[in-house]
């Protein structure tokens, strides 16, 4: 299925043909293009070569680029993450695939104490152009140890860039930018998004890190959401529109650095804000955004910022309990009505 860029078409400028790609295909295309463009780029991780990735994101890359650049590793995250950081210090541009971000905890010291710090501690003499990528969050009965979100955890540390795209187009454009960035980038994907499809331009493009996007324009309330919670927010916004409530949905796309002005300008227009995130409520990325909105938009707010999070418990295995823990569309609708002082 192909799409014409509506914006370009309206402006009468050169039109871009858009193909419908899955999130997985968009990531694969971004890596393939960067591997072809720059011989210093390589991919390393568990089963990224012969098995083509646990989620087939690296499908076809071994055949195209060979064992020297698509490297299978033992099950030793601290080891291959450390090797990747060393390679980045020497001028290469590694892409390190973590089968899930839950496994990054055994490589935490490498990421936080080496990747995040070395450029600073070397007075800028060392660059660390490395991307750590993989899925985070719940993905249907993966239970307590494999369902965690890490966006707040890694956003805490200066020296790390944290990207969390929701759409195939954003995943493509931001991964290419992340690979070309001279800083370590935490690239957060989602198992349940890998099959999500959307239009992606056929022509090569990059999206700027640190810039969010208005995914749906509105006038009554600002809803901030990223990664797979964007789809929960958009569904809620659609249902709210049927009740005469206009919600503007903002996807920051990058959590560090955060596109403050995009969020602030929306809140100054709507005077209300709801934040939707998958993580637990305490010390979350949403808590940081809420703090910034309260401090910078206090005079514009007609109600305190409301947040919708997962329940503050380890993820249960049972399907119906997992649904009970995760943020739902109905909770977002309730939060919007709460800040708008609407009673059913």
The catalytic residues are 77, 146
Do the beta carbons of residue 226 and residue 190 sit within 8 Å? no
Other CB atoms closer than 10 Å to residue 131's CB: what's the count?
28
Helix (H) or strand (E) holding 96: strand 93-97
Handedness of CA 225, 223, 209, 195 (dihedral sign): positive
Q: How far is CA 147 from the centre of its chain?
A: 15
Judge residue 16's burial from the number of C-beta atoms within 10 Å of its C-beta, 0-12 exposed, 13-18 middle, 19 or more buried. Answer: middle
Residue corresponding to tokens 């649904």: 323
Name the region of 10 (left: φ>0; alpha: ψ -120 to 50; beta: rest): alpha
Other CB atoms closer than 10 Å to residue 86's CB: what's the count?
14
Q: In what order do the strands lie in the sheet with 197-201?
A: 2-4, 17-22, 197-201
Name the region of 210 (left: φ>0; alpha: ψ -120 to 50; beta: rest): left
């Amino acid at each position: 299925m192909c799409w014409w860029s509506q914006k370009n078409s309206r402006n009468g400028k050169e039109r871009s043909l858009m193909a419908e790609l899955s999130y997985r295909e968009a990531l694969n295309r971004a890596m393939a293009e960067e591997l072809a463009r720059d011989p210093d780029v390589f991919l390393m991780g568990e089963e990224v070569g012969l098995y083509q990735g646990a989620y087939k994101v690296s499908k076809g890359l071994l055949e195209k680029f060979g064992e020297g650049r698509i490297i299978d590793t033992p099950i030793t995250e601290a080891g291959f993450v450390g090797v990747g950081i060393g390679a980045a210090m020497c001028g290469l541009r590694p892409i390190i695939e973590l089968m899930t971000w839950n496994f990054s905890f055994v490589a935490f010291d490498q990421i936080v104490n080496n990747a995040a710090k070395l450029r600073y501690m070397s007075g800028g003499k060392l660059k660390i152009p490395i991307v750590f990528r993989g899925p985070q969050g719940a993905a249907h009965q993966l239970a307590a140890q494999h369902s965690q979100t890490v966006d707040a955890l890694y956003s805490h540390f200066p020296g790390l860039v944290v990207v969390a795209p929701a759409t195939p187009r954003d995943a493509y454009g931001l991964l290419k930018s992340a690979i070309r960035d001279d800083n370590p980038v935490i690239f957060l994907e989602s198992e349940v998004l890998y099959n999500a499809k959307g239009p992606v331009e056929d022509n090569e493009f990059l999206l700027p890190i640190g810039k969010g996007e208005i995914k749906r324009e509105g006038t009554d309330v600002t809803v901030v959401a990223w990664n797979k919670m964007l789809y929960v927010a958009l569904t809620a916004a659609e249902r709210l529109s049927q009740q005469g409530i206009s919600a503007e949905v903002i996807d920051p796309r990058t959590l560090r650095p955060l596109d403050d002005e995009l969020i602030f300008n929306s809140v100054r227009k709507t005077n209300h804000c709801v934040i939707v995130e998958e993580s637990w409520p305490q010390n979350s990325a949403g808590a940081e955004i809420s703090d910034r909105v309260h401090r910078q938009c206090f005079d514009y707010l007609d109600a305190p910022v409301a947040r919708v999070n997962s329940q503050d418990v380890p993820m249960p295995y049972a399907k119906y309990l997992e649904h009970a823990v995760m943020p739902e569309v109905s909770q977002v609708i309730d939060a919007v009505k709460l800040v708008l002082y609407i009673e059913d």
